[in-house]
Amino acid sequence: MREDEDDPLTLLIPHHQEDGNLIERTWSESKKLWQVAAPSIFSRLAMFSVTVVTQSFAGHLSDLDLAAISIATTVIIAITFGFMLGMASALETLCGQAYGAKQYHMLGTYLQRSWVVLFLCAVLLLPLFVFATPLLKLMGQSEVVAEQTGLVALWLIPFHLSFPFQLTLQRFLQSQRKTGVIAWVSGGVLALHVFVSWVFVYELRIGIVGTALTIGFAWWLSVLGLFVYTVCGGCSETWTGFSAQAFVGLWDFFKLSLASGFMLLLENFYFRVLVIVSGYMHNTKIAVDALSICMSIYAWESMIPLGFLAAVGVRVANELGASNAKGAKFATTVSVLTSLAVGLLFCLIIIVFHEKLAMIFTSSIPVIAMVNDLSVLLAFTILLNCIQPVLSGVAIGSGRQAIVAIVNIGSYYLVGMPVGVVLGWLLMFGIKGMWAGMICGTVVQTLILIIITMRCDWEKEAERARIHITKDTASPLIFAQ
């Protein structure tokens, strides 16, 4: 490393990489993108599959157990996970820009600061688990489903408390492009989880409580693996030990994290409303099971665009931190086109194999039939959501999460839900009408984000990143060792 690389004055020198023709630049950017995206996609699929495996085991216990674990994971956990995931994206912004600016010592401080803020928020969210049963009854779920879901929710609290550490460690490592270790840890955890779930359900016959406990065990095992790698030499430049500096600037970090949290919370909760509304239908358990399976498949596939979200967030933040505005813009274009191609592929898979989807989760003929009936809407939802996460990743990389949160409120709750109510309730199309209305909201959201991204002043964003990093690195509190 050169001596001038740690000098804050070097942040003021723009670094443009415009060598080569368009094809060469696209290939080069694609390699950088996939370097982060591929392991990120695999790790997200693996960790989400931990929940899917648990749902699959629960589905072969009984329809009630499947409904309980499905609601607990696709509604309660989805709300807290979405909020924690969004809050963790603030770390993605700060660490990505600091790494791009070669201010490596800042990353460890940001990581510890995120632990403090996110853990406190996780504790504040615990009432959702403690009072899950009365909340679900208030929302219209049947008493038997609400009671069983409340029991499951209590045993999912360890799972919930792992989010502040697992999600932030992932982003800390991703910002340095150390994604290989995340993939290895996630793959190992998934393999072990399948075995542990089989033992708990079929050998020890612990039942639904045992299946809930296995999820928390798997996620905490992931936390342990990433933490050991981080503190035991895997990040020697960016992790210099625990420091009291983590408690400096907590309010500023909290404000950025809060905007990030609401950005993804509003989006995650949007489609979970379908599961809640299904409680008002006839054949409640069948409707809940079918919607939960569709949401699980959608969330499973969403791990791929979310991998691109992480990749473009890292790429944009790195380029802005390095004062390369044109590089950030080009990374955005390549990411959107790549994610769109992947979305089209999975849309076709859903359409071709629509009759086989539900068999992964259940052997109930009525549930399988309802999932088959909803498969076209599921395919369109997957296609539309292949672009939006990438555009959100651009906002994360440039620290504009608050803007996306406002767009989400307008698109989902002022457009999508009212249209869904009209189609679902007034025009009597039921769940299909509600879902179609929500798709309309997603279309509006995607179009607005495309316009915002196209009108983005990348030079201005690079300047903002330079000012922020220079301010942090110039602080005597940061350099006090």
3-state secondary structure of 159: helix
Most confident of the ranges 54-58, 261-265, 328-332: 328-332
Quote the pLDDT of residue 277: 64
> Residue 271 pLDDT more than 90?
no
Quote the pLDDT of residue 124: 92
| pTM for this entry | 0.73
What is the residue-averaged pLDDT of the chain? Answer: 78
Residue 155 carries which side chain, given as an amino acid letter? W
> Residue 213 pLDDT more than 80?
yes
**What number is the average pLDDT over the span 80-94?**
80
Two tokens, residue 317: 């933040």
User: How sure is the predictor about 234, in pLDDT bands with cuts at 50, 70 and 90?
Assistant: confident
Cβ atoms of 305 and 339 closer than 8 Å: yes
**What are the tens digits of pLDDT across the range 429-463?**
777 787 888 888 888 888 888 888 888 777 877 77
Q: What count of other Cβ atoms lies within 10 Å of the Cβ of residue 319?
A: 31
Quote the pLDDT of residue 276: 62
Cβ atoms of 436 and 418 closer than 8 Å: no
Cβ atoms of 445 and 405 closer than 8 Å: no
Quote the pLDDT of residue 49: 82
Contacts for 426-433 with beta carbons within 8 Å, 24 or more apart? 430/281, 431/274, 431/277, 431/278, 431/281, 431/287, 431/291, 431/374, 432/374, 432/377
Quote the pLDDT of residue 184: 93
Cα dihedral 164, 167, 173, 176 sign: negative
Distance of CA 5 to the CA centre of its chain: 33
> Residue 123 pLDDT more than 90?
yes
% of residues, the chain, pLDDT over 90: 10
User: How sure is the predictor about 8, in pLDDT bands with cuts at 50, 70 and 90?
Assistant: very low
Nearest to 396 by CA among 326, 474, 471, 308: 308
User: How sure is the predictor about 477, in pLDDT bands with cuts at 50, 70 and 90?
Assistant: very low
Non-local (6+) Cβ contacts of 297 within 8 A are 350, 357, 378
Quote the pLDDT of residue 160: 92
Quote the pLDDT of residue 16: 44
> Residue 4 pLDDT more than 50?
no
**What are the tens digits of pLDDT across the range 334-360?**
888 888 888 888 888 888 877 777 777
Measured CA to CA, the distance from residue 468 to residue 461 in angstroms comes to 11
Q: What angle do CA 472, 476, 481 make, to 5 degrees?
A: 105
Non-local (6+) Cβ contacts of 243 within 8 A are 108, 109, 112
Nearest to 186 by CA among 206, 170, 175: 170
Q: Which residue has the higher pLDDT, 398 or 109?
A: 109
User: How sure is the predictor about 376, in pLDDT bands with cuts at 50, 70 and 90?
Assistant: confident
User: How sure is the predictor about 478, in pLDDT bands with cuts at 50, 70 and 90?
Assistant: very low
Measured CA to CA, the distance from residue 374 to residue 440 in angstroms comes to 16
Quote the pLDDT of residue 284: 57
Two tokens, residue 342: 């992947």
3-class DSSP string for 54-71:
HHHHHHCCCHHHHHHHHH
The 8-class DSSP code of residue 248 comes to T
Quote the pLDDT of residue 165: 93
Least confident of 169-178, 243-252, 284-293, 417-426: 284-293
Measured CA to CA, the distance from residue 387 to residue 448 in angstroms comes to 12
**What number is the average pLDDT over the span 47-53?**
81
**What are the tens digits of pLDDT across the range 165-211?**
999 999 899 888 888 899 999 999 999 998 888 887 777 777 778 88
Q: Which residue has the higher pLDDT, 362 or 32?
A: 32
- Describe the chain by its helix, strand, coil percentages, rounded to 5: 85, 0, 15
Residue 67 carries which side chain, given as an amino acid letter? A
Quote the pLDDT of residue 402: 72
**What are the tens digits of pLDDT across the range 280-333?**
655 556 766 777 778 777 777 777 777 777 777 778 777 777 777 787 788 888
